[in-house]
Amino acid sequence: MVPRYSRPLMVAIWQDLNRYRIWFEIEALAAEAMVATGDVPAAAAAAIRTRGGAAIAAMSEADVAKIADIEAVTRHDVIAFLTWLAEPIGPDSRFVHLGMTSSDVLDTCLAVQLTQATDLLLQGIDAVMAALKKRALEHKLTPTIGRSHGIHAEPTSFGLKLAGHYAEFARNRARLRTARTEIATCAISGAVGTFAHLDPRIEAHVATHLGLAVEPVSTQIIPRDRHAAYFCTLAVIASGIERLATEIRHLQRSEVREAEEFFHPGQKGSSAMPHKRNPVLSENLTGLARIVRGYALPALENVTLWHERDISHSSVERVIAPDATITLDFALHRLAGMIDKLTIYPDRMTENLESLGGVVHSGEILLLLARSGISREDSYKIIQRNAMATWTTLGHPDAKRFRDHLLADPEVAGRITPEAIDTAMNPNLHLARIDTIFERVFQE
């Protein structure tokens, strides 16, 4: 990913130095396990660990370049690395990669990198959830208008809006934990996965020390349905980010202005219009979510490979694994900061809630009229005609509010008192059971 949308901790996971350190650890663990199976002398395994470990610890960009030069000749990345590693280890290097195939190293390494990346992504989700919880509790009883089809519906609370997004991210966190478990598998089974030249105990040893599970059937590579499920999970999380970002973008519109991104001192919104305060963060998050979702399809395409293996998936994963995790990591942390600093305007929410002359309370009035003895169908007709009379005259000098139309309607006035109408039109009526929902969401 471009540096603009990258955080150093996540980028480091996908850099050559980290990849080569993991490759070495796999090779060293395998050699140590082969001591127990009688395939490698103990002294040789110790030499691999000591001399190779020292070379890896001191590895520099010059060494990375040297491996690249070797690969330019061999046209094989794992062989290039093993060739470089053989020099500091010396004669005992003949016991490195014994009976193994390249995919044993590559696929197991990818599993380690994806688990490392997932741990950072989980931290990002935790940051988003913490920000959402804080702001949801802060505005638990802040009335605002709910919208369906983009049109005013009934009152809700701004805190409840945020609590819904919190619940979604809680589900996404559980999905990501499941995806981490599914992707964290190790394959050290040799050519076409038969263990013909390897004792299965070697695989188990490597898996245990790397915090991975053993892949039941690796066929030389780890099946890509695991990876497809992983990247689809990232795509679902990205969609959750975009849903919240889209809500903020709408609320920041000039005609709405119920909430807006924090505008930093010295920040500029437009090169031509000095007054502009644009929702640039939420728009950026919308775009980044599209990128992450875009990587789900190639991951699904990777599931279908030829026979026991091919490498049509390899070039895809070299792009999508770093890009998807780096992008999502950045997006999660940007979202957390945006929500934490979100500027919220309760007074504007109240203005908008009542901007249609009170018709948003039609549902409560409908219930009142139905309870007075009129059929629901007739009650609906009576309420709707008064609501439409209010709606169609909004902004006119002689416009009446919904309450006034109701009290002037003989089919209403004789059945419902003004006090009952006022009670029904109190927005706080819709917040009476918010505590129940919050207990469900936050378990407190």
Give catalytic residue positions: 149, 270
Q: What is the DSSP string of 34-52?
A: HHHTTSS-HHHHHHIIIII
d(CA 272, CA 361): 42
Cβ–Cβ < 8 Å for 137, 103:
no
Number of H helices, E strands in the chain: 20, 6
**Phi, psi of 139, rounded to the nearest 5 degrees:** -120, 30
Q: What is the DSSP string of 258-305?
A: SEE----TT--S-SS-TT----HHHHHHHHHHHHHHHTHHHHHHTT--
- Type of residue found at 370: A
Who contacts 87 (Cβ-Cβ below 8 Å, separation ≥6)? 55
Q: What is the dihedral of CA 208, 209, 211, 213, to 10 degrees?
A: -30
Contacts within 8 Å (CB) and 24+ apart, 245-252: 245/281, 245/282, 245/283, 245/285, 245/286, 245/289, 245/335, 246/282, 246/286, 247/161, 247/165, 248/279, 248/282, 248/338, 248/342, 249/279, 249/282, 249/283, 249/286, 252/277, 252/279, 252/282
Distance between the two ends of the chain, CA-based, in angstroms?
Answer: 40
Cβ–Cβ < 8 Å for 16, 113:
no
Residue 344 parent element (H or E): strand 343-344
- Type of residue found at 214: V
> What radius of gyration do the chain's Cα atoms show?
31
Residues in the chain: 444
Burial class for 439, CB neighbours closer than 10 Å (0-12, 13-18, 19+) = exposed
